Amino acid sequence: MLNVAIVGPGLVGKELLHQLNSHATHAAKVNSQVVQLPVVGIINSRRMLLGPVTPDGKRAPLPSLGAWADQLQGESNASTAASLSAFVDELVATHQPTVVVDCTSSLEVAQQYPAWLAKGLHVVTPNKKGFSSEWSLYEAITKHSRLGNASDPTAPWVYHESTVGAGLPVLNSLYDLVKTGDEIVKIEGIFSGTLSYLFNEFSSPTAGASATKSFSDIVTVAKSLGYTEPDPRDDLNGMDVARKVTILARVAGLKVSLDDLAVENIVPEALRSAPSPDAFMQQLPDFDAHFSDLNDQAQHSKTVLRYVGVVDPKGQSSVKLMKYPVDHPFANLKGSDNIIAFTTKYFPNPLIIQGAGAGAAVTAFGIFSDIIKVAERV
């Protein structure tokens, strides 16, 4: 039995609560095959909910998980004003195995992990900040958890599958390779659903150059579909991919930080200082020829353009626009799928994983799988 507490029930957290709630119903029916995962607490930036403490000193699940959203409203008697430190202290007080699931993307929250771990709480999160910001934070998370204390049965668990490729089994596969002593030769992948979509549309292995839409048109469509950040430059500057490359590199055993990576920002230099997203979008068509030239060159050599992240243990890890032959797995990607290729001593012909790498359902699935992994280990 593992208690679950959720920090930040936004889009992903809501979906996770929905999946957990369905699971609880499912577990009640077939509990021989499904672990029990009582949700005992939920906190957002304003309010928090905690299950009652029973007479034997255990924290009971939230009485009506389906109603948490209403109960987190300020007017509800069920919730109280949010205090993350009080929330955590309450969780620790009952001495039960408990996992804190950080569904925020906040650095401030991630900076609390070492303290939570030191108190014996397990951590599961899709939040990239703790694993891709300053090295000292990553080191502290490692030092206070099983990540850095494999043989210490009292050290709490940390899982963060959904920080790279959402629910795709990327990090758990990499951890398996590392733990068994495999040697990582190269990790290469398309880690941004947005940039996957843009270049799958722009640089197709079947369409000739003439059939290609302009780059700015594709960005406009992607923005209107909600595939990009509100300011598409936050996708095109490569920083989101760079965080994922940093995480992969660190899990692979490299002491790398964001600043160590060579990151190719594909926002045209002149547009980086455009005062607003709208101004950026208005001026982007002026650079269509630049992107079309790159694409024509690629097509001329029977390759396509893909924006990739690369972990190179013996060289410099990087984020860049690359060309791939038309029969390469990266060339035949569809929609906004992610893809990752691990080249190792065991897998000289790479181990490849591909599929949806963004979206609430698959991100929540990755978190949920991680929670079950903790539950199976406590």
Which residue ranges are tagged as binding site for L-homoserine?
229
Sequence ranges of the binding site: 8-13, 104, 128, 229
Least distance (Å) from its own copies to the CB of residue 335? 6
353 binds its own copies (CB under 8 A): yes
Task: Give buried/exposed letters for 216-238 (b at 16+ CB in 10 A, else e).
Answer: bebbbebbeeebbeebbbebbbb
Q: Six-digit token pair at 18?
A: 């929905």
For residue 57, how many other CB atoms are within 10 A of its CB?
10
Least distance (Å) from its own copies to the CB of residue 269? 35
Site for its own copies in 13-42 (CB under 8 A): 19, 22-23, 26, 31-36
Q: At what angle do helices 215-224 and 288-300 cross, to 10 degrees?
A: 110
Least distance (Å) from its own copies to the CB of residue 19? 6
Q: How many angstroms from the chain centroid is the CA of residue 306?
A: 20
Instruction: Output the CA angle 3-7-13, nearest 5 degrees.
Output: 90
167 binds its own copies (CB under 8 A): yes
320 binds its own copies (CB under 8 A): no
Q: Which stretch binds its own copies (CB under 8 A): 178-186, 238-246, 255-263, 269-277?
A: 178-186
Q: Which stretch binds its own copies (CB under 8 A): 87-95, 115-123, 194-202, 350-358?
A: 350-358
149 binds its own copies (CB under 8 A): yes
Least distance (Å) from its own copies to the CB of residue 23? 5
Interatomic CA distance for residues 34 and 49, integer angstroms: 25
Instruction: Write out the catalytic residue numbers.
Output: 244
Pinpoint the alpha helices (H) of 57-168. 68-71, 84-93, 107-110, 113-118, 129-132, 135-143
Cβ atoms of 226 and 193 closer than 8 Å: no
Binding site for its own copies (CB under 8 A): 1, 19, 22-23, 26, 31-36, 146-151, 167-169, 172-173, 176-177, 179-182, 205-206, 327, 329, 332, 334-335, 337, 345-347, 349-356, 361-362, 365, 368-369, 372, 376-377
